[in-house]
C-alpha cells in the first residue's frame, strides 16, 4: 500500500457503512499508525450502521436506536467523517478518486468497498407494483408496516423465498395480522441449511402456526388492479394467490456494480474478486463482505465471514497482514417463527463415505441429524425444534477430530446429558462471528483478568455477534474461574450479574416495582428475553400490581400477554379455576353454555379442570365476562404459577377415606391461587394411603393419615418423572399449611429461572434435610419473613381476568387486528370432529369461527366490551 509522506495525510475512503463496514472501522482504529490516515465513510442509508441480523426485532418493540452498532462518540474520537445518504456513484482508479451522488469528488490512497448486497427480485411482470417490497433495511420494514396497515385485518401477504430472510419476513407479516403465504422455489424450506427431514419438520411446525407454505413453486407474475396495486401473485403452475402485499426475499446478490464500472474483475456469479488479503486486482482497492468473492471462489452472505474479511483488510492496510481470509464457518442458529433451527459444518453429508445418525420425533417436533466421517469425526449436522446442543456440537465439527463419545448419545433424548461434559480442544472456535477460540476465552480469564462473561466479551468480542455462542462461553468462563479458585458469578444473563435468587432479594429489600428501575440500578443495557420475564415473575411474586399494567405488560411471556394459552393454530384456550375439582351443576351448565355459544372445544383435563379450546383473542374478554359473572376466576394455566390442587373425594364419600381431602384441596388452591413462581406448580391431596389423587408426583402433595397429614415435596411428572420426598408426617392442619407456606416461599426465593421444585430440591445444598431444617426448625431465622411474604400474597390477590374486564385500557390489547377489532383471524381455522372442533391441518379446508358478539355478554361490562 502507499506509504506515509510528510506532505499530506493519507486518505482512506470506505464505501458503505453496514455491519461489515463498521467492523472494519473498529479493526482499523486498533491498528498501529491508523491515526495518520484521514478516514471518510460514504454511506447510502440515512443512518449509521445497525444490526441487520436482528432486523425483525423491530416488530417486537425494539427501536432503530436499539439496533445501532456505532457507539456514541466513536466517529468523533477517531476523526472519522461519516457522510450519510450520499453513496458513491463512480470510481476513477487512474486518478484515485470517487464521485458521490451529491457530486462531491474525493481522492483516496486506499479504497475499501463494503457495499454489501442487494435483494434479488425475480424478473417477473408486475414486480414494481405498489405493494411489492423487499426485506433488507429499516426503511423497507417501515414500508411493509405501512402496507400491512393499509391492507387491514382481512389482508393477505405473500413472501417469495423460504430461506432465512424469507421466513423472518413471513414472521413479520403474521405478527402484523396478515394471512401469510411463503413461496419457495426449492423442494423444502431453508434448503441451504437443512436437509429433507429437517425441512419437512420445519414446514410442519410453521404451517401449524397458520402460515401456508408452497414449495417447489416459483413466482411468475404479480397481478394488479386497475390502479396498479397488488391483488395477487401467480405461480409457475398457474395458481394465483390472492395478495395485498408481496415481499421478495429470494436471496441477495453482491453489490458489485462500482467494480464492474471501473474495470475490476468480478466472479462469474457476481462478487468483486479478491485474494486472501482482500485485495482486488488494483493494489489500492480492497473489497470486504457480501460484495466480495473470496479467494476460495465463494461469496459469503453471513456476517461472520464479513467480520473476518474486515479484520483481514484492516491488518493489510496497516502493513500487518498476518493470516489471510481463506474461508469461513457458515453455521447458523436462529429462531424462525418461534421454531429453533440450527445447522453446522457439512449438514448434507457431502463427504465421501459419510454416515448419518438420525433422531426424529414428529410428536414433540424435534429433529436431530449428525453427519459422521469415516474416521469417526463429526462433520456437521442439522437441529430443528431443539438446538440446545448447538454450542457444543458446532465446535466439535469444526475441530475435525474423531468423537470420543458415541454419536447416538448426542442425538437421543437425555443422551447428551448422559454423555457427561464433553471436552473441547482449546483451538475449537466458540464464536464464529469473531473467530474466537476456546483457548482465547480461557486466556482472557486467567491471563487478562476477566472475571465475568461481560468482561470476556469486551476483551475478545466473543458473543457480540449473533449471540448463539453465549451459553458455551458462559460455561467456559465459569469453569476457568472455578479452576483458578476465583469467585464464580452466576448471573442471570448478560444484563445482570446477579442470579434470579439474588435479584429476588434485591427487589424484596429495595421495594423496586419496575424492570427499568432494576436494570438501571443493578444491571446494564435494555434487557432480554431471559431477564425480562424472570423479573416480571419476581415482581408478580411480590404482588407488585397487575401484570398487564404499564411496563409490566411488555415483560411477559407470550401466554401472559393475553392471559391465555396459545394453541397450535393461533387460537387460545380458556381455563377457569375449579378448586379441588369440585364444581356445582350451575357451574357446569355455565361452562357448557359458554362453550356452545362460542363454538369452543371442551376437554376435562388430568388436573380436574375443564379446558375450552379455540377462542380468538377478540373472544377472550367476552368469554371471561360470562365466566366471571358466574363466579369463575382465572385458572392461571397460562402462567408460571399454581395450576391445580387435585383431590379424590376423601372421607366425605369414599369408604376408605380418613380425612376431608376435597375440603383441604379447595382451601390450598384458593390460598395459593395466582402465586407466581420460577416454574409452574401442581399439587394434590389424597384422602387415604390408596393415593387416588397421585399426590406423590406433585410439587407438593398431601396424603391423609389417621393422625393427620403427610407432606411430600419435590415431585413431578412429565418427561423426567420424579417421586416426591416425605418432608413431614402426621401434621395437623395448621402446621401443614404453615409448612407449605414456607416451603413455597423458600422455593420462590431461592430457585433459578425455570427451575422445577424437583431440580431445585436436588440442587439445594443439604437437600431435604436442609429444607426440613429451614421450614420446620427455622434454622436460617427467616420463618417469620417467609410467613409474611405468603400473607402479603394472600392479602393482595386479585383475579387477573376480573381486574382486566374492569379496565378499558387493559381490554384494548385483546384484538386480533388493532385496526379492525372484532374481525376474526382468517388464518385460524377449524374442522369438525366427534361433534366438536379441532384445528385444521395444512391440507384441510377449515372454517373460521364467527367473531364475538357483545349480545352474549351479560351485565355492566357490555358497554366496555362493545368499545
Q: Where in the chain is the domain with CATH 1.10.10.1100?
A: 424-489
Per-residue pLDDT at 853: 44
Q: Where in the chain is the domain with CATH 3.50.50.60?
A: 10-118+254-317, 132-250
Alpha helices (H) along 58-195: 74-77, 138-151, 164-175
pTM > 0.75: yes or no: no
C-alpha 368: how far from its chain's center? 19
- How far apart are alpha carbons 848 and 326 in whole angstroms? 54
For domain 424-489, give the CATH number.
1.10.10.1100
Residue 69, C-alpha cell as written in the block: 452498532
CA-closest candidate to residue 451, choices 424, 492, 491:
491
- How far apart are alpha carbons 402 and 381 in whole angstroms? 15
Q: Where in the chain is the domain with CATH 3.30.413.10?
A: 638-796
CATH class label, 638-796:
alpha beta
Per-residue pLDDT at 812: 79
Residue 457, C-alpha cell as written in the block: 466479551
User: Coil, strand or helix: which one is 701?
Assistant: strand
Q: Where in the chain is the domain with CATH 3.90.480?
A: 557-634+799-867
For domain 132-250, give the CATH number.
3.50.50.60
**What's the full length of the chain, in residues?**
867
pLDDT, mean of each 10-residue run, the chain (867 residues): 59 96 95 92 95 80 84 92 96 97 96 95 92 93 89 84 88 86 93 88 87 92 90 92 93 94 95 96 96 92 89 92 79 77 87 88 85 91 86 83 84 60 72 82 84 81 74 79 70 84 89 89 84 88 77 71 80 91 93 93 90 90 94 92 94 91 96 94 94 94 95 85 92 97 96 90 88 93 94 92 89 66 72 88 78 40 33
Cell numbers 436506536 correspond to 65
The arrangement of secondary structure in 10-118+254-317, i.e. its CATH architecture, is 3-Layer(bba) Sandwich (3.50)
- How far apart are alpha carbons 547 and 776 in whole angstroms? 33
User: Coil, strand or helix: which one is 832?
Assistant: strand
- How far apart are alpha carbons 423 and 403 in whole angstroms? 10
Residue 749, C-alpha cell as written in the block: 426465593
User: Coil, strand or helix: which one is 603?
Assistant: strand
Give 356-368 as a DSSP string: EEEEEETTTTEEE
CATH fold, domain 557-634+799-867, is: Sulfite Reductase Hemoprotein; domain 2 (3.90.480)
DSSP label of 689:
T
Per-residue pLDDT at 567: 83
Angle subtended at Cα 388 by Cα 386 and Cα 392, rounded to the nearest 5 degrees: 135
Cell numbers 417467609 correspond to 786
Per-residue pLDDT at 855: 33
Give 616-677 as a DSSP string: -TTHHHHHHHHHHHTT--B--TTSSBEEEEEE--HHHH-TT--S-HHHHHHHHHHHHTT-B-
CA-closest candidate to residue 127, choices 246, 28, 293:
246
C-alpha 418: how far from its chain's center? 27
Amino acid at each position: 500500500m502507499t506509504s506515509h509522506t510528510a506532505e499530506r495525510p493519507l486518505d482512506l475512503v470506505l464505501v458503505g457503512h453496514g455491519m461489515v463496514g463498521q467492523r472494519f472501522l473498529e479493526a482499523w482504529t486498533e491498528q498501529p499508525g491508523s491515526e495518520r490516515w484521514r478516514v471518510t465513510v460514504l454511506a447510502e442509508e440515512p443512518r449509521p450502521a445497525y444490526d441487520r441480523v436482528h432486523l425483525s426485532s423491530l416488530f417486537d418493540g425494539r427501536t432503530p436506536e436499539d439496533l445501532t452498532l456505532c457507539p456514541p462518540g466513536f466517529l468523533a474520537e477517531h476523526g472519522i467523517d461519516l457522510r450519510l445518504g450520499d453513496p458513491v456513484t463512480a470510481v476513477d482508479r487512474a486518478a484515485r478518486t470517487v464521485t458521490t451522488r451529491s457530486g462531491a469528488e474525493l481522492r483516496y490512497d486506499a479504497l475499501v468497498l463494503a457495499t454489501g448486497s442487494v435483494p434479488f427480485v425475480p424478473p417477473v411482470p408486475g414486480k414494481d407494483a405498489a405493494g411489492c417490497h423487499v426485506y433488507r433495511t429499516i426503511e423497507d420494514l417501515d414500508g411493509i408496516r405501512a402496507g400491512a396497515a393499509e391492507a387491514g385485518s382481512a389482508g393477505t401477504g405473500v413472501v417469495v423465498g423460504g430461506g432465512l430472510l424469507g421466513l423472518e419476513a413471513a414472521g413479520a407479516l403474521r405478527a402484523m395480522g396478515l394471512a401469510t403465504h411463503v413461496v419457495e422455489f426449492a423442494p423444502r424450506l431453508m434448503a441451504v441449511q437443512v436437509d429433507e427431514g429437517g425441512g419437512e419438520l420445519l414446514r410442519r411446525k410453521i404451517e401449524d402456526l397458520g402460515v401456508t407454505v408452497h414449495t417447489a413453486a416459483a413466482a411468475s407474475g404479480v397481478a394488479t388492479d386497475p390502479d396498479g396495486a397488488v391483488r395477487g401473485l401467480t405461480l409457475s403452475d398457474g395458481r394465483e394467490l390472492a395478495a395485498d402485499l408481496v415481499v421478495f426475499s429470494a436471496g441477495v446478490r453482491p453489490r458489485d456494480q462500482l467494480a464492474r464500472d471501473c474495470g475490476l474483475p468480478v466472479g462469474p456469479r457476481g462478487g468483486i474478486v479478491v485474494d486472501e488479503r482482500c485485495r482486488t486486482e488494483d493494489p489500492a482497492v480492497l473489497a470486504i463482505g457480501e460484495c466480495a468473492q473470496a479467494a476460495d471462489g465463494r461469496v459469503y452472505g453471513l456476517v461472520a465471514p464479513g467480520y473476518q474479511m474486515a479484520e483481514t483488510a484492516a491488518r493489510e492496510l496497516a502493513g500487518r497482514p498476518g493470516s489471510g481470509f481463506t474461508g469461513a464457518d457458515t453455521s447458523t442458529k436462529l429462531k424462525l417463527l418461534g421454531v429453533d433451527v440450527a445447522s453446522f459444518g457439512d449438514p448434507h453429508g457431502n463427504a465421501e463415505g459419510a454416515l448419518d445418525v438420525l433422531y426424529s420425533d414428529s410428536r414433540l417436533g424435534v429433529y436431530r441429524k449428525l453427519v459422521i466421517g469415516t474416521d469417526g469425526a463429526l462433520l456437521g449436522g442439522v437441529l430443528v425444534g431443539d438446538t440446545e446442543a448447538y454450542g457444543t456440537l458446532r465446535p466439535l465439527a469444526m475441530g475435525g477430530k474423531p468423537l470420543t463419545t458415541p454419536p447416538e448419545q448426542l442425538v437421543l433424548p437425555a443422551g447428551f446429558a448422559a454423555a457427561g461434559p464433553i471436552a473441547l480442544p482449546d483451538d475449537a472456535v466458540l464464536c464464529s462471528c469473531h473467530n474466537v477460540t476456546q483457548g482465547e476465552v480461557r486466556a482472557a480469564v486467567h491471563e487478562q483478568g476477566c472475571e465475568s462473561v461481560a468482561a470476556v466479551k469486551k476483551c475478545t468480542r466473543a458473543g457480540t455477534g449473533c449471540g448463539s455462542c453465549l451459553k458455551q462461553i458462559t460455561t467456559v468462563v465459569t469453569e476457568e474461574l472455578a479452576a483458578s479458585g476465583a469467585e464464580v458469578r452466576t448471573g442471570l444473563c448478560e444484563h445482570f450479574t446477579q442470579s434470579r435468587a439474588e435479584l429476588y432479594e434485591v427487589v424484596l429489600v429495595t421495594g423496586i416495582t419496575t424492570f427499568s428501575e432494576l436494570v438501571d440500578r443493578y444491571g446494564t443495557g435494555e434487557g432480554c428475553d431471559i431477564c425480562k420475564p424472570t423479573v416480571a415473575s419476581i415482581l408478580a411474586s411480590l404482588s407488585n400490581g397487575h401484570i398487564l399494567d404499564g411496563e409490566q405488560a411488555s415483560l411477559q411471556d407470550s401466554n401472559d400477554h393475553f392471559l391465555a394459552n396459545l394453541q397450535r393454530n393461533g387460537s387460545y384456550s380458556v381455563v377457569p379455576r375449579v378448586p379441588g375439582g369440585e364444581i356445582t351443576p350451575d357451574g357446569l351448565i355455565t361452562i357448557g353454555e359458554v362453550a356452545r355459544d362460542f363454538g369452543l372445544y371442551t376437554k376435562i383435563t388430568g388436573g380436574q379442570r375443564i379446558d375450552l379450546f379455540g377462542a380468538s383473542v377478540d373472544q377472550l374478554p367476552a368469554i371471561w365476562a360470562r365466566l366471571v359473572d358466574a363466579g369463575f376466576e382465572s385458572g392461571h394455566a397460562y402462567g408460571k404459577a399454581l395450576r391445580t390442587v387435585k383431590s379424590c373425594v376423601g372421607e366425605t364419600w369414599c369408604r376408605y377415606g380418613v380425612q376431608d381431602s376435597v375440603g383441604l384441596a379447595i382451601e390450598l388452591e384458593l390460598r395459593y391461587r395466582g402465586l407466581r413462581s420460577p416454574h409452574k406448580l401442581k399439587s394434590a391431596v389424597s384422602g387415604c394411603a390408596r393415593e387416588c389423587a397421585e399426590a406423590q408426583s406433585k410439587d407438593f402433595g398431601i396424603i391423609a393419615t389417621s393422625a393427620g397429614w403427610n407432606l411430600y415435596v419435590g415431585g413431578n411428572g412429565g418427561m423426567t418423572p420424579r417421586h416426591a420426598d416425605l418432608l413431614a408426617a402426621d401434621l395437623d392442619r395448621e402446621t401443614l399449611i404453615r409448612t407449605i407456606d414456607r416451603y413455597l416461599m423458600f422455593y420462590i426465593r431461592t430457585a433459578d429461572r425455570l427451575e422445577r421444585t424437583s431440580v431445585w430440591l436436588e440442587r439445594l445444598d443439604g437437600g431435604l434435610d436442609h429444607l426440613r431444617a429451614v421450614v420446620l426448625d427455622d434454622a436460617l431465622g427467616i420463618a417469620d419473613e417467609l410467613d409474611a411474604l405468603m400473607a402479603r400474597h394472600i392479602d393482595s390477590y386479585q383475579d387477573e381476568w376480573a381486574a382486566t374486564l374492569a379496565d378499558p385500557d387493559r381490554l384494548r390489547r385483546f384484538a386480533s387486528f388493532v385496526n379492525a377489532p372484532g374481525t376474526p383471524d382468517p388464518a385460524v381455522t377449524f374442522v369438525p370432529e366427534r361433534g366438536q372442533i379441532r384445528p385444521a391441518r395444512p391440507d384441510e379446508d377449515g372454517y373460521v369461527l364467527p367473531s364475538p358478539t357483545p349480545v352474549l355478554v351479560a351485565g355492566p361490562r357490555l358497554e366496555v366490551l362493545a368499545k
